[in-house]
C-alpha cells in the first residue's frame, strides 16, 4: 500500500481556479489577467505545484496567459464527455495543452467514470494510454464517485490517478475502505470536493432546496466546531490533508485572497476532532444528497 505522508500540508495541496461568476466576478480583461497572475504567483510563492483544470469556457486560455515564468506547476487536464466521441476527446485534450500554453501535461483524467463503463470505455482508455506513450501526459486516470466502484475500475484499467470526492461531511470513501483499496493498488488518490460545495459556509436559509433537510445536522456540526474553536475551513482541510492514502487535495479558489485563506487554514495545527461525529449522515447519505455534496471540483 502507498501512503502519502507529506512533510508539509502544502506538499499535498492542489488548486482548481474557479472562473464562474457566482464565485468570482469577472473583471475587465486586463484586470482579470492581473488578478489571475497574482493568484498563480501567490500559489508559486507558497510552493504549491499542482493545478487542476477543466475544459470549460475560457479558463484554460486565461491560465495559459497568466502562468509565472518559468512555470512551477504540474497541470492536470480533464477530458470532454464520451458523447463527443473518442477522436474528439483526443483532439480536445491536445487543444487543452495548446490553450494552456504547455508542451505536455502532468495528468489527463477522464471526467466521469461512467465514460469508462460504457461500450467505448476500453477504446477511450487506450486512446489516453496512447497520449501518455507519446509523452503528452505523464500520467492518466479518471474521476469517480464512491457509487462508481472506483476500485473495480482501477483493477481493470490500472490508472495512475483516481480523483474522488472526499470531505468531512461525506466520509464514505474513507469509512467504506475505498481509499485504502485504491492505495493498495498503487494508485495516486486526488481528493476533490473538499469544501463540500460550501455547505458549512452558508446558513440554513441559504441552503439549496435539496439540502434543506440537512439544516439541523449542519447546524449541529457548526456548533461542534465552534465549541472546539475550529474554523470550518480549517476543519475541512485538516480532514482531507490528514488522510494518509491521499496524495493531493484539490481546493477550489477564485482569488488570491481565497488562496491565502486556504493556505493559512492548511498550515494551522491539526485540530483534535472526532471526525466520525462530523459526518453529515454516516454511511447512509441518500443518493441525491451525495450528488450535491460531491459536486464541487
Give all domains of the chain, ordered by start, each with its CATH number: 9-293 (3.20.20.100)
pTM of the model: 0.88
Q: What is the rounded distance in angstroms from the CA atom of residue 25 to the CA atom of residue 32?
A: 9
Judge if the upstream peptide bond of residue 70 is cis by omega within 30 degrees of 0.
yes
The confidence score (pLDDT) of residue 294 equals 42
Q: What is the pLDDT of residues 2-56, one digit of tens each?
A: 555 556 888 999 999 997 655 555 566 568 889 999 999 999 999 999 999 999 8
Q: What is the mean pLDDT of residues 222-247?
A: 94
Buried b (16+ CB within 10 A) or exposed e, 197-212: bebbeeeeeebeeebe
Q: What is the pLDDT of residues 63-80, one digit of tens each?
A: 999 999 888 999 999 999
- Is the Cα torsion angle 291, 79, 178, 297 positive or negative in sign? negative
Amino acid at each position: 500500500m502507498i501512503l502519502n505522508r507529506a512533510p508539509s500540508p502544502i506538499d499535498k495541496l492542489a488548486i482548481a481556479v474557479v472562473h464562474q461568476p457566482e464565485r468570482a466576478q469577472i473583471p475587465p480583461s486586463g484586470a482579470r489577467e492581473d488578478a489571475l497572475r497574482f493568484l498563480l504567483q501567490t500559489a508559486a510563492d507558497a510552493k504549491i505545484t499542482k493545478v487542476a483544470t477543466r475544459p470549460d469556457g475560457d479558463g484554460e486560455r486565461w491560465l495559459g496567459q497568466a502562468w509565472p515564468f518559468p512555470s512551477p506547476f504540474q497541470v492536470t487536464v480533464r477530458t470532454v464527455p464520451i458523447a463527443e466521441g473518442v477522436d474528439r476527446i483526443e483532439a480536445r485534450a491536445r487543444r487543452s495543452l495548446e490553450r494552456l500554453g504547455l508542451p505536455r501535461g502532468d495528468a489527463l483524467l477522464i471526467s466521469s467514470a461512467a465514460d469508462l463503463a460504457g461500450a467505448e470505455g476500453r477504446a477511450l482508455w487506450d486512446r489516453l494510454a496512447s497520449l501518455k506513450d507519446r509523452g503528452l501526459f505523464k500520467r492518466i486516470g479518471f474521476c469517480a464517485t464512491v457509487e462508481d466502484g472506483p476500485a473495480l475500475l482501477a483493477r481493470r484499467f490500472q490508472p495512475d490517478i483516481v480523483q474522488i470526492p472526499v470531505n468531512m461531511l461525506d466520509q464514505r470513501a474513507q469509512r467504506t475502505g475505498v481509499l485504502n483499496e485504491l492505495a493498495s493498488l498503487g494508485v495516486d488518490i486526488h481528493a476533490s470536493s473538499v469544501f463540500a460545495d460550501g455547505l458549512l459556509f452558508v446558513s440554513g436559509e441559504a441552503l439549496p432546496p435539496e439540502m434543506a433537510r440537512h439544516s439541523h445536522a449542519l447546524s449541529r456540526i457548526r456548533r461542534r466546531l465552534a465549541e472546539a474553536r475550529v474554523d470550518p475551513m480549517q476543519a475541512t482541510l485538516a480532514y482531507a490533508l490528514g488522510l494518509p492514502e491521499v496524495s493531493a487535495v484539490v481546493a477550489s479558489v477564485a482569488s488570491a485572497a481565497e488562496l491565502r485563506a486556504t493556505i493559512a487554514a492548511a498550515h494551522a495545527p491539526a485540530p483534535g476532532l472526532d471526525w466520525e461525529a462530523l459526518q453529515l449522515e454516516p454511511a447512509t447519505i441518500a443518493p441525491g444528497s451525495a450528488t450535491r455534496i460531491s459536486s464541487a471540483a
